[in-house]
Structure 1
Amino acid sequence: MDDAPRTGARTVVDVSAPRPVDRAWVDEAVRRITADANRSADTHLVHVELPDGWDVDLYLKDESTHPTGSLKHRLARSLFLYAICNGEIGPGTTVTEASSGSTAVSEAYFARMLGLPFVAVMARTTSLEKVALIEREGGTCHLVDDPSAVYDTARSIANATSGHYLDQFTHAERATDWRGNNNIAESIFEQMGHERHPVPTWVVVGAGTGGTSATIGRFVRYRALSTKVAVVDPENSAFLMAFQERSTEGARGSRIEGIGRPRVEPSFLPTVVDRMIGIPDAASIAAMRYLQDRTGIRAGGSTGTNLYGSLRIACEMRAAGQPGSIVTLMCDPRERYVGTYADDGWLASQGLDLAPYLGVLERAWTTGEWTG
């Protein structure tokens, strides 16, 4: 009898995966990352005391208290879990990233936790303090002269080592569960629950990957909240240009590390942003310094960008007689910028004059009038 399948009969095909997944390693990697998150308390929501008589409250979500000292700790955790669960990272995988610093610090931390080699590709102008932090966490820094080359260089190193390029700029908006699961948006709204104005009128953030604004913008829509999202963007960044439907030709990225990019990153979703405000670099650094002088809070440059935009919105609300609250982020600490934003010599070398913006901030803080 002929055992060959008859014409039209279906043949069962059983093919194993080309790259068998070490499930025991995956399970242990996820356990270690989850245990790290479980050990870490949520970050503080700090009420910034504005002058008496204001019916507008300002809050700083202090992301500098993460184990690696910045907002990017959340992103790095999500990126590693995303890549591990997608089968892209396994035992011994060389992990690479294109980063301006803080993301790489956090990613180096998780790579060391899992026993993986990590290479951060960044512009040569990145602060020495951040380079030292990455190396302290066991990472290797690969510096490039052209900031726009970081993407291709990180990808080529991953290809050459049969490794994995985390690609924060593409994956930030999809690696984070924007519906909740202890993301930054859910944390903010839970912590605001007992405040005078519990549903923020505005949440103000910068855009580096675009992942934070995407997460918050989606979350407020998913929860049917009235909160609006404002993105503050530094000089020479492509995001504001694109939001205004202008050409991004000439965008160079920003001197304010961690935010602003020379191109519009895939994770930036302008459709969930309600407003964008351009902030001069000198204004960002002035606000960073003013915050310390007024409150003692020692923050970095991107926090200054957030504060400058937040105070502008607060003054607008006050002028309109609109009560409410504003939440913004403290992204990382001042100590990462001792040789740049905190150094008067560096400011002079960059031609940055803080005086006009310090005047705007002082008038806004003391009178509630915005003159910027």
Structure 2
Amino acid sequence: MKKKRSGKRGWTRRKRKPKSPFPLIVLVTVVAFFVLVVTMAFVVFVTWLLIKAGIFHFPHSARYGLTFVLLEFALASVFVGTIVSFVVGRISLRPLNKLIRAMNQLADGDYSVRLYFGERKIGRKLADSFNKMAEELSNTEMLRSDFVNNFSHEFKTPIVSIYGFARLLCRGNLEAEQTREYLSIIEQESGRLAEMATNVLDMTRVENQTILSGVKEYNLSEQLRRSVLLLEKKWSQKELEISCDFNEHMIQADEEMMKQVWVNLLDNAIKFAPEKGKITVLIREHPDEERQEDGTVAVAIKNNGPQIKEEDRKRIFNKFYQSDTSHAAEGTGIGLAIVKRIVELHEGEIRVESDSRETAFWVELPKNRQP
């Protein structure tokens, strides 16, 4: 169970409890009871009027007279009750029929449909829930469509490069330096293809995973240093300044999965950092008030790249989402979704902070995550 932690960088995840359907059951019961009472009152009133007017009178036998009255009362109640129930049911079920039609439109792929049931509390809640669901489905469909377009573009570019340079190599008559250059380009583009395929496979794997089987204690600081060195070629090409602001920190987690988190975040920071920019990696511990050996570890990966808009920050961890639609930066919009899923599997949290000076991705993890 997560403990509430105060402080500038602290936050608590609160799970909403499912609401009981009891109020709806009470409403249905009250409506049915109301229909029954109104029906009985109406029949009694009509019977009383008929008796007062002398139109209706008992037969000679009191026993048969009472039976006759009860039978007439029952038949009249059923008849009037059926009519009243039909009218009331038709009115009360109108929103439900409207909801069914809207659901059918959603099933047919029309995500623009919206509901409005007036200002009544129950109707407003139902309409708000449906409209939110329709909007989420619309956004998901739009992201999937964008992903297909982006992935097609990213996939096609290296294939065209590989094909073109392979043809040049097949023709021969090239100098040794040109041959090495073309082979280097083919190697780079092949690496891009392999990386894209790996990201798609990783996304599928972590989405279906619910249990961490490789949790162990290891040196988080050393892992971050190795991740930085792994990407040395990329940040050296852009002449970036790398600053590692941390001491030695141990953590219990899945080492391989967390390596994927840091490499993704560092690669993202390098990609959007300006030439001769700066990347900072820092670690901060937040000890538990009751048990000092517990608590959380927060890792921040920062760069002085362009500010991420608030609208993009809300959706940046969604699958397939890319804030840069011009394809100026390579990617398929899967990396950060993988990162978020891995962090969630470790019962941690991730957030992004961005202003005109720097952008920081914060990952907060429990220090002693038990398997």
TM-score of the superposed pair, with normalisation by structure 2: 0.22
**Greater Rg by CA:** 2
Query: Relative contact order, CA 8 A, sep 6+: which one is greater?
Result: 1
TM-score of the superposed pair, with normalisation by structure 1: 0.22
